[in-house]
Amino acid sequence: MPVITCIEDLRRLHQARVPRMFWEYCESGSYTEQTFHDNSADFAQIRLRQRVARDLSDRRLGGEMIGQQVSMPLAISPTGSAGMQWADGEILGARAAQRFGVPFTLSTMSICSIEDLSEAGVGPFWFQLYVMRDEDFVDGIIERARVAGCPALVVTLDLQVIGQRHKDLKNGLTAPPRLTLPNILNMMTRPAWCLAMARTKRRTFRNIMGHVKGVDDLANLNAWTWEQFEPRLDWSMVQRIRDQWQGKFILKGILDAEDARMAVDVGADAIVVSNHGGRQLDGALSSIRMLPSIVRAVGDRCEVWIDSGIRSGQDLLKALALGATGGMIGRPWLYGLGAMGEAGVTKALEVIRDELDITMALCGERDVADLGRHNLLVPEDFEGAWG
């Protein structure tokens, strides 16, 4: 077993062990992938202020996210098709998160369903909603999340239309994969993945299959999915969902201060500064660049988290020091999942926790709650016109 020292180690293993169409699905952005790459690269422009000769004993990483106790201010983001990165991937990820003490968010487009996670005994987990044209489906899946005891609903706002990802189109991405000759040849080089997938019954979008009239095979499932994302989604629809949901309400995909204020006005308990991992509007600024202006716009009216670009505990520290109250990770946990299954997800969380802890100490801090701009050296033009 190779020695894992960082998220990049897990990324390399993930690429070696998962069929090409699925690791490229994880690793792709839209169009030129400028925003996808900027999400990580812009973190590197922020430098850390080293301090010495301070008492660094009894350090504290834990706290709360929307009232839920967490071992560090981090949650696992909703990611579609995680169960294609490794068999039963969402169950494994939720189990690792639960044991580690961080929230897990199940995607609408997951391979394992809400009921699969409940039957596996993991939870409580959060549920992420894509707003679809089919109102009966939307109402039904919200009710299913309520019955499962999900304490929080995460509504994604930035997928009214789907950004084009060239790699997915070239690979003919489906779940399960079509048995074309190139796919078969590639999967033959991933025997452990194939064996694990052969042992599970969960190989398609089980939150949808069997819950929509007329959707009973891969062909009509794919057709239904691509036609269903709701282009008319507006704040009145968001308000309707807020009124329908009695638990904690999180809005994901905020990248503008004005939208952040609107999110608070409709009753968001937390907002997630996110550009969908660079998979939607290519050319948008990175999440970390937009974070400070959104924090200022919202103030203390709700929690502000960041998603898109976190690859280390140092990245998480920089976001917290810029005013975020928490972070979310998508690709890092998928790297771990594809690399080593449940143990890989745990390893990804351990890496981020340990990097956060050591970096915080070397910045002279003992508690994540004390992090702030005094810990950073930020380029003058970092926030640009949004500063």
Residue 16 lies in a domain: yes
Looking at residue 213, its pLDDT comes to 84
Q: Is residue 122 part of a domain?
A: yes
Neighbours of 109 (CB within 10 A): 18
In a domain, residue 371? The reply is yes
pLDDT digits (tens, 9 = 90+) for 306-335: 999 999 999 999 999 999 999 999 999 999
* pLDDT > 60? residue 384: no
Q: Give the Cβ contact number of residue 307 at 10 Å.
A: 26
pLDDT digits (tens, 9 = 90+) for 128-178: 999 999 999 999 999 999 999 999 999 999 999 999 999 888 888 777 888
| Span 277-302, pLDDT tens digits | 999 999 999 999 999 999 999 999 99
In a domain, 387, yes or no: no
Domain count for the chain, please give it. 1
The whole-model pTM stands at 0.96
Share of the chain above pLDDT 90, in %: 87
Classify residue 73 as exposed, middle or buried by CB count within 10 Å of its CB (0-12, 13-18, 19+).
buried
Residue 287 burial (CB < 10 Å; 0-12/13-18/19+)? buried
Under DSSP, the state recorded for 302 is S
Determine the average pLDDT of the residues in 237-260.
98
Mean pLDDT for 189-201 is 95
Structural domain of residue 259, as residue ranges? 7-379
Residue 1 placed within a domain: no
Backbone angles phi, psi at 191, to 5 degrees: -60, -35
358 pLDDT band, cuts 50/70/90, is very high
In a domain, 2, yes or no: no
Burial class of 160 by CB neighbour count within 10 A (0 to 12, 13 to 18, 19+): middle
Q: Is the pLDDT of residue 352 over 60?
A: yes
Distance CA 293, CA 256 (A): 8
276 carries an active-site annotation: yes
- Contacts of 275 by beta carbon, 8 Å cutoff, 6+ apart: 35, 39, 158, 253, 255, 281, 284, 285, 286, 287, 308
Which of 37, 211, 276, 374 does the annotation list as catalytic?
276
N-terminal to C-terminal alpha carbon distance within the chain: 46
Give the model's pLDDT for residue 387: 42
Token readout for 40 is 């990580």
d(CA 237, CA 242): 9
d(CA 48, CA 360): 10
Looking at the domain assignment, is residue 242 inside a domain? yes
Q: How far is CA 266 from the centre of its chain?
A: 23
Is 385's pLDDT higher than 50? no
Instruction: Tell me, yes or no, whether 288 lies in a domain.
Output: yes
pLDDT at 386 over 60: no
CATH (domain of 293): 3.20.20.70
The pLDDT of residue 27: 93
* Per-residue pLDDT reduced to its tens digit, 50-90: 999 999 999 999 999 999 999 999 999 999 999 999 999 99
- Given a cut of 90, whether residue 217 has pLDDT beyond it is no
Say yes or no to pLDDT of 370 above 80: yes
SS3 at position 52 = coil
